[in-house]
Amino acid sequence: MDDGTEPNSRSLAMLETPCLILDAAKMRRNIARMAAHIAPFGVSLRPHLKTAKSIAVARAVMASPQGPATVSTLMEAEQFAAGGVRDIIYAVGVAPAKLDRVIALRRQGVDLAIILDTVEQAEAVAAASRAAGLRIPTLIEIDSDGHRGGVGPAEPDRIVAIGRILAGDAELRGVLTHAGESYGSRTPEQLRDWVEIERNAAVSAARTLRAAGLPCPVVSVGSTPTALGAVDMTGVTEVRAGVFVFFDLVMAGIGVCTVDEIALSVLATVVGHQREKGWILIDAGWMAMSQDRGTAKQAIDQGHGVVCDLLGRPYPDLIVSAANQEHGTVTIRPGSNATLPDLAIGDRVRILPNHACSTAAQHGRYHVVEGESDAVQAEWLRFGGW
Amino acid sequence: MDDGTEPNSRSLAMLETPCLILDAAKMRRNIARMAAHIAPFGVSLRPHLKTAKSIAVARAVMASPQGPATVSTLMEAEQFAAGGVRDIIYAVGVAPAKLDRVIALRRQGVDLAIILDTVEQAEAVAAASRAAGLRIPTLIEIDSDGHRGGVGPAEPDRIVAIGRILAGDAELRGVLTHAGESYGSRTPEQLRDWVEIERNAAVSAARTLRAAGLPCPVVSVGSTPTALGAVDMTGVTEVRAGVFVFFDLVMAGIGVCTVDEIALSVLATVVGHQREKGWILIDAGWMAMSQDRGTAKQAIDQGHGVVCDLLGRPYPDLIVSAANQEHGTVTIRPGSNATLPDLAIGDRVRILPNHACSTAAQHGRYHVVEGESDAVQAEWLRFGGW
């Protein structure tokens, strides 16, 4: 089985910049930490692969080469299915026109489940199931945080109405929720509140279905912050989380990881200075970093990323404070007394991202290193698109 | 010569969403408008292809299939060279490690020029030219707006020092500047000021070189706002601009185009509602739109984009007010009295982007339509990477 890896024995100093670097040692520690954290709860981990988009990373984080896994696009479902994954939830409310691709994957032997939150969608899924002669497993999306989709907690009748349609001609597999608002947590107490809000929303919806005589085998919750913040998962059967594999500066700002645990960075080259302004210019702009500025709303604004040396060790208070398409402007963080490091044109740095999902999406491959080494061990391919 | 186009006769209703739509009729009008605007000045247009990243679009905008053209990465230079372009400026300050790829393209017969702003870089280019037995044509980057790189207007000695090194063993081709700060213009007067600041910086640097007995055949300026705002180009030999090919909401906010002239949009499908909140959920989130929020600093904040019907006609005051990775939340603009359109699950909309460069970068191809038609005429491939 091709796992999208290519042998490689170059050093970081030889790579074309900008490019994406993955510290696989940190990645494995992050994966082990999540596994150890949720083990006592007796729930399964269904990692969200929208961050990784790489079969090599998927295999490192999934419980088995067959899954389980979560995806955000049908392209991810198809790519991971081609890599041998057999147990997938496509966790974005389904558009009826996408059911053909869902059915095609199921006919290939992939247990692909979908989610939805309206009677109209449920009727479309039931009709497509009848027409295809198979039952599409479907979870009802529950709105635990008022953030985007899902049936609200005060709408038990709608949950039951959707459940009855699915149980008729499709397959009612359970309920699913995601408290994305947990990303806004500023204190451990706020995070614990989101953990309980998320769990309660899912467990209560499951109770509603069961009280109506409907099945609800799967009760799926999760995000990286709520998974790592959980102290009680009673009633939950599985946890979804994705960004914990790499972590990022937003997660460090929430407090669920340290900056040292961030496994992903962008390698860049110094291409200029404006010495009187205290600026170092690098060849990683927003095309390489993305325009995600998730830390702008946190206590510490990390600009477009934290600047590290070639081996991934952060310089004190050095950030990418501005970015154009292919230029980054590196400065000392405003208010800091730190000194600008003496970086010459041609020197290389690594930038830790605000948001692993969006920065990784700007790149076609991971260049893999192991810890504080400049030896590139492998290239792991990424895919994009829908 | 393969131009990256594929025959296609599908309708917009049949495409997988999200995907990128290009109205080629609007694109041709935008290109013609720029050509007509700069024709009286007797300067050449060197379009910046970092927005397009497509040989089909490049051929539509370049004066000839051989160029001239501007690029922001060596990947762009290599891809367009493979498509037959022979006259290219790589307009990001060069890192010495990238000179091997520059030399390789020049040996293939591509007149690729580079830019730089330090004595160190000039010495590296001179050394690489000597070692390769060819003269690498190089322009000195001038800082006209204090925004990122370039030799400042008060540093004539540095300009001459760099010029002498280049004229020795490389080739001093001229000076180049880009007043990116023109994007911050809020009034026509502010924009006219940037036009003159940009032109003066380049012309004055050229004068400095010539006064020192050095050549300066090329005086290159430009950005879409300053090119369209120019009323006098005395002393300038060429203009660079890129985003005008498509335009976008940031350009409309500056006032150099109307919303109706924007040629690029993202096709999306309705996947849910939160009716009591006035939300329509679509399957285009920041992965499809990018996280560029360039209009947030303008008089009219367009959120993550303006929502149009399938044929590209904007709904009144309807925007994507929030975005997650694969979800967009469509609402009426705050403060507006407009009514939410009655869009059902499965209906399709088109979203005009804040920033054409960053939104296009999220996609692998353009689906080409002609005006207010739902017939897809072609697919034009895009590339990414460095």
Residues B196-218 pLDDT 10s: 999 999 999 999 999 999 999 99
Q: Does residue A7 register a pLDDT over 50?
A: yes
DSSP B89: E
pLDDT in tens, A24-51: 999 999 999 999 999 999 999 999 999 9
Structure tokens at B356: 């054409």
Cross-strand pairs, B332: B318
Q: How close A40 gets to chain B, by Cα (Å)?
A: 31
Q: Which residues of A touch B271 (CB under 8 A)?
A: 92-95, 149
Q: Which residues of A touch B95 (CB under 8 A)?
A: 17, 269-271, 283, 345-346
Q: How close B96 gets to chain A, by Cα (Å)?
A: 6
The pLDDT of residue B63 is 97
Q: Does residue A111 register a pLDDT over 60?
A: yes
Q: Which residues of A touch B18 (CB under 8 A)?
A: 386
The Cβ of residue B128 has, within 10 Å, a number of other Cβ atoms equal to 20
Structure tokens at B53: 């990243």
Q: How close A292 gets to chain B, by Cα (Å)?
A: 6
Q: Which of B72, B292, B327 sits opposite A326 (nearest CB)?
A: B72
The pLDDT of residue B332 is 98
* pLDDT, mean of residues B151-173: 95
Q: Does residue A247 register a pLDDT over 80?
A: yes
Average pLDDT of chain B? 96
The pLDDT of residue B6 is 59
The pLDDT of residue A4 is 61
Q: Which of B92, B322, B361 sits opposite A271 (nearest CB)?
A: B92
Distance (Å, rounded) from C-alpha A346 to C-alpha A343?
8
A368 φ, ψ (degrees, to nearest 5)? -100, 125
The pLDDT of residue A136 is 98
Size of interface A-B (CB pairs under 8 A): 151
DSSP A375: B
Q: Which of A18, A345, A361 sits opposite B386 (nearest CB)?
A: A18
Q: Does residue A115 register a pLDDT over 60?
A: yes
Q: Which of B74, B325, B346 sits opposite A72 (nearest CB)?
A: B325
Mutate to test the interface with A, among B345, B348, B365 (most CBs of A within 10 A): B345
The pLDDT of residue A6 is 59
The sign one gets for the Cα dihedral B167, B169, B170, B176 is negative
Contact B288 A19 (CB under 8 A): no
Contact B344 A180 (CB under 8 A): no
* pLDDT, mean of residues B151-169: 95
B4 band by pLDDT with thresholds 50, 70 and 90: low
The pLDDT of residue B3 is 61
The pLDDT of residue B10 is 87
Cross-strand pairs, B375: B11
Task: Tell me the C-alpha to C-alpha distance, in Å, between residue A123 and each of A126, A167, A172.
Answer: 5, 11, 13
Contact A286 B73 (CB under 8 A): no
Question: A131: buried, middle or exposed (CB in 10 Å: 19+, 13-18, 0-12)?
Answer: exposed
Q: Which residues of B touch A358 (CB under 8 A)?
A: 286-287, 291, 325
Helix (H, G, I), strand (E, B) or coil at A101: helix
B1 band by pLDDT with thresholds 50, 70 and 90: very low
Q: Which residues contact residue B375 at a Cβ distance below 8 angstroms, ignoring those fewer than 6 apart?
A: B9, B10, B11, B12, B369
Report DSSP letters for B206-257, one per residue. HHHHHHTT----EEEE--HHHHHH-S--TT--EE---GGGT--HHHHHHTSS
pLDDT in tens, B45-82: 999 999 999 999 999 999 999 999 999 999 999 999 99
* pLDDT, mean of residues B255-279: 96
A45 HSE (CA, 13 A, CB side) = 28
Q: Does residue A235 register a pLDDT over 70?
A: yes
Is A138:A167 a contact under the CB 8 Å cutoff?
Answer: no
Q: How close A217 gets to chain B, by Cα (Å)?
A: 24
Distance (Å, rounded) from C-alpha B307 to C-alpha B317?
8
Contact A286 B386 (CB under 8 A): no
Average pLDDT of chain A? 96
DSSP A11: B
The pLDDT of residue A1 is 40
Q: Which of B72, B269, B326 sits opposite A73 (nearest CB)?
A: B326
Amino acid at B307: V
Which letter, b or e, does each residue of A147-172 get, where b requires 16 or more Cβ atoms within 10 Å of its Cβ? bbbbbbbebbebbbbbbbbbbebbbb
* pLDDT, mean of residues B115-132: 98
The Cβ of residue B39 has, within 10 Å, a number of other Cβ atoms equal to 10
Contact A92 B385 (CB under 8 A): no
Q: Which residues of B touch A353 (CB under 8 A)?
A: none
Q: Which residues of A touch B359 (CB under 8 A)?
A: none
Contact A274 B149 (CB under 8 A): yes
Structure tokens at B238: 């060429």
A188 or B365, which is more confident = B365
pLDDT in tens, B273-283: 999 999 999 99
Chain B residue with minimum CA distance to A51: B325
The pLDDT of residue B280 is 98
Q: Which residues of B touch A90 (CB under 8 A)?
A: none
Helix (H, G, I), strand (E, B) or coil at B169: helix
The pLDDT of residue B154 is 82
Q: Which of A93, A345, A364 sits opposite B385 (nearest CB)?
A: A364
Q: How close B326 gets to chain A, by Cα (Å)?
A: 7
Q: Does residue A9 register a pLDDT over 70?
A: no
CA A200 to chain centre: 23
Q: Which residues of A touch B385 (CB under 8 A)?
A: 363-364
Is B323:B290 a contact under the CB 8 Å cutoff?
Answer: no
Q: Which residues of B touch A94 (CB under 8 A)?
A: 271
Structure tokens at A268: 């860049």
Q: Which of B74, B272, B287 sits opposite A361 (nearest CB)?
A: B287
Q: Which of B16, B121, B291 sits opposite A291 (nearest CB)?
A: B291
Chain B residue with minimum CA distance to A278: B148
Q: Which residues of B touch A50 (CB under 8 A)?
A: 325-326
Chain B residue with minimum CA distance to A115: B271
Question: A30: buried, middle or exposed (CB in 10 Å: 19+, 13-18, 0-12)?
Answer: buried
Chain B residue with minimum CA distance to A328: B148
pLDDT in tens, A54-97: 999 999 999 999 999 999 999 999 999 999 999 999 999 999 99
Which letter, b or e, does each residue of B294-328 get, where b requires 16 or more Cβ atoms within 10 Å of its Cβ? bbeebeebbbbbbbbbbebebbebbbbbbbbbbbb
B303 or B7, which is more confident = B303
A3 band by pLDDT with thresholds 50, 70 and 90: low
Distance (Å, rounded) from C-alpha A15 to C-alpha B363?
25
Q: Which long-range contacts (CB under 8 A, 24 or more apart) does B25-31 make?
A: B25/B370, B25/B371, B26/B261, B26/B262, B26/B263, B26/B371, B27/B57, B27/B60, B27/B245, B27/B246, B27/B263, B28/B60, B29/B261, B30/B244, B30/B245, B30/B246, B30/B247, B30/B257, B30/B261, B30/B263, B31/B60, B31/B61, B31/B244, B31/B245
Nearest Cα residue to A77 out of A65, A67, A90, A66: A90
Amino acid at B227: A
Amino acid at A285: G
Chain B residue with minimum CA distance to A358: B287
